[in-house]
Amino acid sequence: MIAILFFILIVGVPLFLMGVVISNGAPLIASPGPVTRLTRYLDENEARSEEGSDFPELEPLIIFGTPDQTFPRVIDALEQMNLEIVESRSNENRVHALERTQLWKFIDDFHVVIEHREENNSIIRFRSESRVGHADFGANIARIVRFRKKMASAEPSDDG
């Protein structure tokens, strides 16, 4: 009996946690590797853009277009993700949106700031944060990955 409980604790719990992370849509195998990723997903409730991050999806996003051109695309991407936009300041190029988690309906915050980079480029910095709990099981990084995909699919070309 003790052997079965030990097996469940040693094998079952980590498999369950990996299943939760995978169901959230967070990358698990990508750089910097599954151990580092799983450790982060179980120990942090926030993900933010950071230049030079070990997590490629946390690099700030460089977009063709001025902040004024990029702002409506950010709003559109957030709406396509079904996030509730609670604050939108086009004059400051800032957006604050909310998303409720699927299972427990916790509220998570998503912040976006658009800055002018050079010529016709903008840099998008973002932060996704869970309001409740110590670990997010990869939900915040998964939200950032979804946001990056939406922005990439809406990117105009620079030749027209």
Task: Tell me the mean pLDDT in the region 4-9.
Answer: 71
158 has a pLDDT exceeding 70: no
Q: pLDDT digits over 92-134, tens only?
A: 999 999 999 877 789 999 999 999 998 899 999 999 999 998 8
Between 37 and 9, residue with greater pLDDT: 37
pLDDT at 160: 46
User: What is the pTM (predicted TM-score) of this model?
Assistant: 0.87
What's the length of the chain? 160
Looking at residue 9, what DSSP letter applies?
I
pLDDT reading at 57 higher than 50: yes
Give the rounded distance of the alpha carbon of 126 from its chain centre: 8
- Angle, to 10 degrees, between the axis of helix 13-24 and the axis of helix 34-41? 80
The pLDDT value given to residue 156: 63
CATH number of 2-153: 3.30.310.80
What are 32-50's pLDDT values in tens digits?
A: 998 899 899 989 999 999 9
For residue 63, give the amino acid letter. Answer: I
Domain boundaries, the chain: 2-153
**Nearest C-alpha neighbor of 75 from the set 60, 49, 58, 97:** 97
115 close to 67: Cβ distance less than 8 angstroms: yes
Tokens of 63: 């977009």
